[in-house]
Amino acid sequence: MAFQLPELGYAYDALAPHIDARTMEIHHSKHHNGYTTKLNGAIAGTDLEGKSIEDILTNLDMSNSGVRNNGGGFYNHSLFWTVMNPNDKGILNGELKETIEAAFGSKEAFMDAFSNAAATQFGSGWAWLCVLPGGKVEVCATPNQDNPLMPGVTCGGTPILGLDVWEHAYYLNYQNRRPDYITAFFNVINWNEVAKRYAAAK
């Protein structure tokens, strides 16, 4: 079974004004769709066909640029859509709140660390909140479509929150103002989903 472009689960305009409808439509229907199609092409007829995306990325040959770029792109965007939600966002609470406060000191200090990782990623890439074995969390960033599941990526653990800082993710609305886009992202984080991912990963 080939990989399928996942549904967003909400309308393209649902995250406006924080993320505008046109950006969401192009990002999902063109960019993510492109990664999905190219991933399927890259694994067709190889022993990767039929494996889960997590299995493919965890055991990836990093010199396989077709699978690295498009498998990363497929996985990263699939996570990204779920950690945003305009309606049922929830709040940071419970065990994840305690874990974040233990690691960073406060929710605000976490937001500063995450924002800094996103703002200082040179060129294209992603900022992440990851869960390490044992349940501790850390913030980091990766270039291009790399992600923390891949071998040798120093940013360890399982990603539970990710922010796309490629220009295609924000340029139509924010132009060069990446920091404004990062600030806006905190208004649409789906904490219920992040907590669910934390519970599954820890």
> From residue 57 to residue 96, what is the string marking binding to Mn ion with x (rule CB under 5 A)?
----------------------------------------
Give the integer Cα–Cα distance in Å for 155 and 37. Answer: 27
Residues in the chain: 202
Which residues touch 177 (CB under 8 Å, ≥6 apart)? 170
164 belongs to the binding site for Mn ion (CB under 5 A): yes
Considering the complex, state which of residue 140 and residue 169 has its C-beta at the smaller distance from Mn ion. Answer: 169
- Report the amino acid identity of residue 74: F
Give me the residue label for tokens 């497929």: 74
Contact 83, 190 (CB under 8 A): yes
> In the bound complex, what is the minimum distance in angstroms from residue 107's beta carbon to Mn ion?
26
Considering the complex, state which of residue 104 and residue 166 has its C-beta at the smaller distance from Mn ion. Answer: 166
**Tally of CB atoms within 10 A around 130:** 22
Q: Which residue is nearest to Mn ion (CB)?
A: 164
Residues binding Mn ion: what is the number (CB under 5 A)? 3
> In the bound complex, what is the minimum distance in angstroms from residue 92's beta carbon to Mn ion?
24
Number of helical H runs and strand E runs in the chain: 9, 3
Considering the complex, state which of residue 84 and residue 195 has its C-beta at the smaller distance from Mn ion. Answer: 84
Using CB under 5 A, which of the segments 38-46, 108-116, 165-173, 178-186 binds Mn ion? Answer: 165-173
> In the bound complex, what is the minimum distance in angstroms from residue 73's beta carbon to Mn ion?
7
> From residue 105 to residue 144, what is the string marking binding to Mn ion with x (rule CB under 5 A)?
----------------------------------------
Helix H or strand E encompassing 35:
helix 33-43
Three-class SS state of 131: strand
Considering the complex, state which of residue 110 and residue 166 has its C-beta at the smaller distance from Mn ion. Answer: 166
DSSP classification of residue 168: G
Give the integer Cα–Cα distance in Å for 42 and 13. Answer: 32
Considering the complex, state which of residue 30 and residue 177 has its C-beta at the smaller distance from Mn ion. Answer: 30
Q: Which residues bind Mn ion (CB under 5 A)?
A: 164, 166, 169
